[in-house]
Amino acid sequence: MPSLNPHLLHTEETYLFAKIAEKRKRCLLDVINLGVGDVSKPPIASCIDALRNSVEEMTERSTLPGYPPNQGYRFLREKIALHEYANRFSPEEIFIGAGAKNGAADLLDLFAKGSRIGIPNPSYPVYLGASRIAGMQVLFLPCLEENNFAPTLPNEPCSLIYLCSPNNPTGHSLSKKMLESWVAYAHNHGSLLFYDAAYEGFITSGNPRSIYAIPGAEKVAIEARSFSKKGGFTNLRCSYMVIPKECRLQGVALGQLWERRCQFKFGGVPYPVQRAAESLYSSRGKKELMLQIQEYQAQAVYLRKGLLERGFSIVGGSDAPYVWCKIPPNLSSWEFFDLLLEKTGVLCIPGVGFGSHGEGFVRFSAFPEIPLLEKALTNIEREMFCAI
Ligand code: PLP
């Protein structure tokens, strides 16, 4: 009798997006989707050129790339080491992946079933779902308003802690002081930190972009970054993790362990995609990328200002393209979602979808372009004030 993975069977599906899609279908108004976590702008022109050129190379026997190396092509790892980390880490310490989502979930392969995993609440739902499927013990780290939405340090030791800065959904980023306390925690408890910096490119506050700004972090932290939001790669799929050579658990170098895992369970990222990612580091690519990020940042400023002017209490929007908005206390986040959609056609994400401590909030995304944001704000102003 075959038996299925009981952890997968008992992991709750995230009904969130299915439920939102269902409600959206029933909405009688034109929907303005401020729920999206996807980009609205295509990859920059340098990327498109690199894609075209590399596809051309694939048409010739002499330049056919074949299987990609598991760890990623050296040409990309060298650029990342130089441009992102000023060669503080070598290309051997950089691992190219097919998305930070995969990295966050697959990293659990390094830990024994039943290990205790610290997960911020609210947070990006992948940390929880992947931990449940892997049969881990989950310890929630509440991110409370009174703590400025930073996750609470646990008293118990955890094998792995997920940290996400700037955070999805709150848009909040962790200060140097907060990061220092997490690095100290990891040293004291023999824990590993998985630092998800998928939105580091959007930081304007001066908070660190990298966990490695903290001395000693290289011994206890793996950092993940992504080209999805920063380069428009949500479809192309390319990301990277830094696993410093000093990063060890129980005397084992985690980079080597990860490499072993990837030899059996990862097929690498396509050559054209890695060439496209490399083009972001050319001088033309850097200029184009900077302009694109500035446009997203301007959208976030616009949305933030618009919501503030309409009396909402919000955080985020300055270090990430998300605005975390407090809702009136008489409504749950789903009730607010329903009311907003029904009265204005604006679609947000109920905070509770990211964890129980997200109740009382909703997430608005600044990925949609300004005309759409303007329409959403106008509708909110016209229809919402009398409704709540
Ligand atoms: N990490 C966070 C915090 C995210 O919000 C997302 C996507 O929304 C990801 C990772 C996924 O990144 P990628 O597209 O590289 O898989």
Q: Tell me the pLDDT band of 301, cut-offs 50, 70 and 90.
A: very high
Question: 101: CA distance to ligand 1 center in Å?
Answer: 5
Q: Kindly list the domain boundaries of the chain, sorted by start residue.
A: 6-43+284-387, 45-282
pLDDT at res. 317: 86
Ligand 1 centre to CA of 342 (Å) is 29
Q: Is the CB of 365 under 6 A from ligand 1?
A: no
**Nearest-angstrom CA–CA distance, 128 and 218:** 25
Q: Go through 117-136 and write b for each residue having 16 or more CB atoms within 10 A of its CB, e for each that does not.
A: bbbbbbbbbbbbbbbbbbbb
Q: How far apart are the CA of 100 and the centre of ligand 1, in A? A: 5
pTM of the model: 0.96
Q: Which fold, 6-43+284-387?
A: Aspartate Aminotransferase, domain 1 (3.90.1150)
Q: Is 220 in the pocket of ligand 1 (CB under 6 A)?
A: no
- CATH number for the domain running over 45-282: 3.40.640.10
Contact 320, 202 (CB under 8 A): yes
HSE, CB side, 13 Å, CA atoms: give it for residue 123: 29
pLDDT score of 386 more than 60: no
What is the pLDDT confidence band of residue 17, given thresholds at 50, 70 and 90? confident
pLDDT in tens, 167-182: 999 999 999 999 999 9
